[in-house]
A = this chain, B = another copy of it.
Amino acid sequence: MPDEPLLDIGEVARRTGLAPSALRFYERKGLIAPEGRNGLRRAYRPEVLERLGLITCARSAGLSVAEIGRFLAARPSDGDLRERMTARAEDLDEQIGRLTRLRDSLRHAAVCTHEPVVDCPDFRRAIGGVAPRTHTGGDRPDAGPRRRSAHA
């Protein structure tokens, strides 16, 4: 076992690009933990860098810190969690579709000559179906829980 490869919070911060405050925040939320303390100071195993990469990635995909925490704690026996992961993967799939269409629309918009760019028919076409629904024919029964933040 190598002498003491432990990193202090400042080091981890520099290597991940995250602020120390963010690291402490993640710790409070249970996403990471120092291997131990050097006095009061957190001492991290280098593995935390990978974990943080993962976290940053998941964050960038729109997962909430809370959910990332649950995923990080996952064990093969967590059937529930596996289902949630699968569900998430499907959400991501849809999201990827939307993003792709939006990207294409933006690319077109950047080049198109319609007055309010938004009115360009090509743009419209490219966007088409991007939105969850613009159902002009009513179908919502009534007072369901008003759609919350969509993700997380």
Contacts and interface: CB of A to CB of B under 8 A. Distances in A.
A134 B52 contact: yes
Contact of A53 (B85, B115, B131): B131
B117 A75 contact: yes
A138 B146 CA distance: 47
A38 interface: no
A66 interface: no
A74 to B, nearest CB: 4
Interface string A118-152: 10000010010011111110101000001100100
A42 interface: no
A52 to B, nearest CB: 7
A15 interface: yes
Contacts of A114: 76
B112 A61 contact: no
A7 to B, nearest CB: 11
Contact of A110 (B14, B61, B85, B92): B85
A17 B135 CA distance: 9
B60 A95 contact: yes
Nearest to A144: B17
Contact of A115 (B17, B76, B110, B134): B76
Given A76-B113, A76-B114, A89-B106, A16 B146 contact: no
Given A17-B132, A50-B124, A92-B106, 8 more contacts: A19-B146, A53-B127, A58-B102, A60-B95, A74-B116, A76-B114, A83-B110, A89-B106
